[in-house]
Chain A
Amino acid sequence: MDVILLGGLVRALQALASATPTLLIGLFIATVLRYYLGVAGTQRLFGGESLRSLPQSWLLGMLLPVCSIGVIPILREMKRAGVRAGAITAFAISAPLFNPLSLLYGLTLSRPAVIIGFALASLLVVTALGMIWDRFSKQTVAPEQNDDFKPIGISRLFACVIFSMRELVGTTGLLTLVAVSGTLLLGMLLPHGALQTSVEQKDPLAPALMTLIAVPIYATPMLAMSQLGMMFAHGNSPGAAFSLLLLGTGMNFATLFWIAKNYGFKSCCIWFTTLVVIVLGCAYAVDRPLIPPGVEPAGHTHAFDIYTNPFQAGSTLTIGAVLELLDKSVAISEKISAVVLAILIVAGLCLRGIPRHRIERLLTSSTLENPKTGRGDLIVSPRIVGLTCIAGLVAFSVVACYAYYPSAEETLEEMRVARAEVLSGASSGEKEHALFWIGVWDEWSRRLEVGNAIRKFELRPYQQAQTQLLRKRLELLEHELERDPPKPDEIKKVATELARTSQRVRLAFSE
């Protein structure tokens, strides 16, 4: 019981932590839509009533760095502004699928063309889905509220922060919990490592099974991309990979709940059934043609261990071990975002007793119609400020790519540290330590490729061959370390080969 409950809780907390950075970004975009672009600007941003609204929403979704939880406050604002139902769902599905960071990561996988193909296929899916749903949902596009609260200057910034606080302790916060409930459920129901052999290349049920599992899953774009990488490296079913991307990353329980609440149960059923039918159709269509040539199926994958219980049945769990696992799996950026969100939530709880109209009255001392400007103050149209914010966010994503994928020199230094930790852990028998650092090393090897490619605009076949070989060796060492009972001679042999490959990687990327 402890293992089941704690395992599910750990998975839910990990999901919650990984959602925090993109939830903050989602709240930021929602405030821009509400207080800067307004109803008319938001409608125009998403293509209004024109034919281009679906592809435009898809493109915007591809550029903005949000996940299927971070997209929730944006969807609420889109609905409030009266954006077409089809465009809302096109954005809801496509925004979490890719962002500039994950797309670049995807290009380091063994078959980058497949990732580009998946991105284009997602455009087809959201366009078809949006058109069908627009026809059947019969929603009016009238905005829900008037834009009568229009503070400017510092008051508007306060309004943005207060809006975020209220969202976090209100509907968005609740929907976030609904979203991670799927991960909690899977963590409790699926035993440790239970999905390792479920999505094999030749298994005709693999795309269907993945479709079923993917619905409750919450996955960030980066996590999904790394899972796709592992699936292709292990020769798993490409159709299952497509289902995972579209349904695992693109939606979760909260998406369904929100759609049902806002558009009615019948519309939600039509939308969900259409989505599943289109995704399954595409998944089975690409399953055979996209089988990677020359990849020997490994017969299993660890890509989905993250959705199963992290603890083996019958293990004795201590609070210390659980906390250590959480601490190791939560990145520093997620911890910082969690602290910011926690502050906003506490402040939001304090504000709950104060009626909204009293706060709005306080913040409307200076409005667009009645500005109180100081010396040197310039009134800029909210739309210009809003569009600058959105463009700035896209520019920030591009800059973030360079920060996330540093230069080869920096990355090789990080890899040197990971290498020392892995090899010393393996030689001294510290299995858990070595296993943790194997993941870190693997991650840096991918960043090495992207960092080199975005700076030098090339990635030579020799460099690719060496990094792929390094990751293969890392996986072999992982397996040797997991072997029960361990075989020290085998560990030593694999580690020696790994050390050789590591040196070749360094040479390949050093100029």
Chain B
Amino acid sequence: MSELETMRYRIASAAVLVACLFGCLLGCGESKSSLHEIDHTTPAHWPVDLNDAAEKMRIRLSNLGTLDSTHNDGVSVDLKELRDLVGWIPEVAADTDLTEQQWNKVYEASEVARKQMQKASQVSPDLAQQIESLCNLLEESQKLLVVHDDKAISFSDPITK
């Protein structure tokens, strides 16, 4: 290797090192003393159960119907939160003791509504009807869960479960 080539390698190596240091300055701060410094935040409108999801969706639906369309901010927040709620339903339902068959019904209904909401810039009467049916389904599903409550799993005896 010629002297010129050797020099070029050195310059290239130095450039990569400088680039790495630059990267550090850009993206890094001090050492994190605890990983919990950056928390996972649960959105304020996250539903606690299926009934709560139905109630929260009805409130947003009602706001969308009554608010004057010129109040863009109010409408967009409700629409965004309604989209969120519809999207979260499979997870909220999966976190209950619904059987797979019962869960599938909720999942399919929420998927249909979610896909329609993705395209819609406002809630049409058809979509509103669909969401209302979904709310009813959620409430019916919640009723099915009452019988499961006695079978709660205890954390105090985790190994035997």
Task: Determine whether the beta carbon of B155 is less than 8 Å from that of A462.
Answer: no
Shortest C-beta distance, B1 to chain A (Å), equals: 8
Restricting to B1-59, which residues have a CB under 8 Å from any CB of A?
5, 8-9, 12, 16-17, 19-24, 26-36, 38-41, 43
Point out the residue from B100, B104, B158 that lies within 8 Å of A495, measured CB to CB: B158
User: Provided the pairs A196-B32, A499-B158, A500-B153 are in contact, do residues A265 and B8 lie with their beta carbons within 8 angstroms?
Assistant: yes
Task: Determine whether the beta carbon of B26 is less than 8 Å from that of A191.
Answer: no
Q: Give 3 nearest A-B pairs by CB, closest first.
A: A423-B158, A193-B32, A194-B28
Task: Determine whether the beta carbon of B158 is less than 8 Å from that of A420.
Answer: yes
Task: Determine whether the beta carbon of B16 is less than 8 Å from that of A216.
Answer: yes
Point out the residue from B12, B28, B35, B91 that lies within 8 Å of A302, measured CB to CB: B35
Task: Determine whether the beta carbon of A212 is less than 8 Å from that of B40.
Answer: no
Task: Give Cα distance in the complex from A480 to B40, angstroms.
Answer: 10
Restricting to A437-469, which residues have a CB under 8 Å from any CB of B?
460-462, 465-466, 468-469
Task: Determine whether the beta carbon of B95 is less than 8 Å from that of A469.
Answer: yes
User: Provided the pairs A469-B91, A501-B95 are in contact, do residues A496 and B159 lie with their beta carbons within 8 angstroms?
Assistant: no
B158, closest chain A residue (CB): A423
12 contacts between A and B (CB under 8 A): A185-B17, A189-B24, A193-B35, A196-B38, A427-B155, A427-B156, A460-B100, A461-B104, A480-B36, A484-B36, A500-B152, A503-B153
Interface of B (DSSP majority class):
helix
Tell me if A419 is interfacial: C-beta within 8 Å of chain B. Answer: yes
Task: Determine whether the beta carbon of B158 is less than 8 Å from that of A209.
Answer: no
Number of interface residues of B (CB under 8 A): 50
Task: Give Cα distance in the complex from A189 to B107, angstroms.
Answer: 47
User: Provided the pairs A185-B17, A190-B24, A462-B94 are in contact, do residues A484 and B155 lie with their beta carbons within 8 angstroms?
Assistant: no
Task: Determine whether the beta carbon of B158 is less than 8 Å from that of A482.
Answer: no
Tell me if A274 is interfacial: C-beta within 8 Å of chain B. Answer: no
Tell me if B161 is interfacial: C-beta within 8 Å of chain A. Answer: yes
Shortest C-beta distance, A416 to chain B (Å), equals: 9
User: Provided the pairs A424-B158, A427-B155, A508-B100 are in contact, do residues A265 and B91 lie with their beta carbons within 8 angstroms?
Assistant: no
Task: Give Cα distance in the complex from A176 to B94, angstroms.
Answer: 46
Tell me if A205 is interfacial: C-beta within 8 Å of chain B. Answer: yes
One digit per residue, 1 when the CB lies within 8 angstroms of any chain B CB and 0 when it does not, for chain A 494-509 equals 0111011111100010
A197, closest chain B residue (CB): B38
Task: Determine whether the beta carbon of B31 is less than 8 Å from that of A309.
Answer: yes
User: Provided the pairs A189-B21, A294-B87, A495-B155 are in contact, do residues A465 and B40 lie with their beta carbons within 8 angstroms?
Assistant: no
Q: Chain B residues near A476: list those with CB within 8 A.
A: 40
Tell me if A475 is interfacial: C-beta within 8 Å of chain B. Answer: yes
User: Provided the pairs A212-B22, A294-B84, A462-B100 are in contact, do residues A484 and B107 lie with their beta carbons within 8 angstroms?
Assistant: no
B94, closest chain A residue (CB): A465
Tell me if A333 is interfacial: C-beta within 8 Å of chain B. Answer: no
Q: Chain B residues near A197: list those with CB within 8 A.
A: 38
Shortest C-beta distance, A426 to chain B (Å), equals: 9
Shortest C-beta distance, A216 to chain B (Å), equals: 6
Tell me if B90 is interfacial: C-beta within 8 Å of chain A. Answer: yes
A315, closest chain B residue (CB): B31
Point out the residue from B8, B38, B90 that lies within 8 Å of A465, measured CB to CB: B90
Q: Chain B residues near A195: list those with CB within 8 A.
A: 27-28
A472, closest chain B residue (CB): B91
Task: Give Cα distance in the complex from A194 to B38, angstroms.
Answer: 12
Shortest C-beta distance, A6 to chain B (Å), equals: 14
Other A-B pairs, 13, CB within 8 Å; known A294-B87, A423-B158: A215-B20, A253-B16, A265-B5, A294-B114, A299-B41, A461-B90, A461-B107, A465-B103, A468-B91, A469-B94, A484-B34, A495-B155, A508-B100
Task: Give Cα distance in the complex from A168 to B1, angstroms.
Answer: 23
A495, closest chain B residue (CB): B155
Tell me if A335 is interfacial: C-beta within 8 Å of chain B. Answer: no
Task: Determine whether the beta carbon of A484 is less than 8 Å from that of B33.
Answer: yes
Point out the residue from B29, B38, B103 that lies within 8 Å of A300, measured CB to CB: B38
Point out the residue from B27, B34, B103, B104 that lies within 8 Å of A213, measured CB to CB: B27
Task: Determine whether the beta carbon of A499 is less than 8 Å from that of B16.
Answer: no
Task: Give Cα distance in the complex from A483 to B39, angstroms.
Answer: 10
Point out the residue from A191, A483, A501 that lies within 8 Å of B34, measured CB to CB: A483
Shortest C-beta distance, B2 to chain A (Å), equals: 10
Tell me if B72 is interfacial: C-beta within 8 Å of chain A. Answer: no
Tell me if A245 is interfacial: C-beta within 8 Å of chain B. Answer: no
User: Provided the pairs A198-B27, A294-B87, A298-B40 are in contact, do residues A424 and B159 lie with their beta carbons within 8 angstroms?
Assistant: yes
User: Provided the pairs A205-B26, A424-B159, A479-B40 are in contact, do residues A212 and B34 lie with their beta carbons within 8 angstroms?
Assistant: no
Which residue, B24, B29, B90, B156, has most C-beta atoms of chain A within 10 A?
A: B24
B1, closest chain A residue (CB): A261
Task: Determine whether the beta carbon of B94 is less than 8 Å from that of A496.
Answer: no
Task: Determine whether the beta carbon of B91 is less than 8 Å from that of A312.
Answer: no
Shortest C-beta distance, B159 to chain A (Å), equals: 4
Task: Determine whether the beta carbon of A265 is less than 8 Å from that of B9.
Answer: yes
Q: Chain A residues near B12: list those with CB within 8 A.
A: 256, 260, 265, 268-269
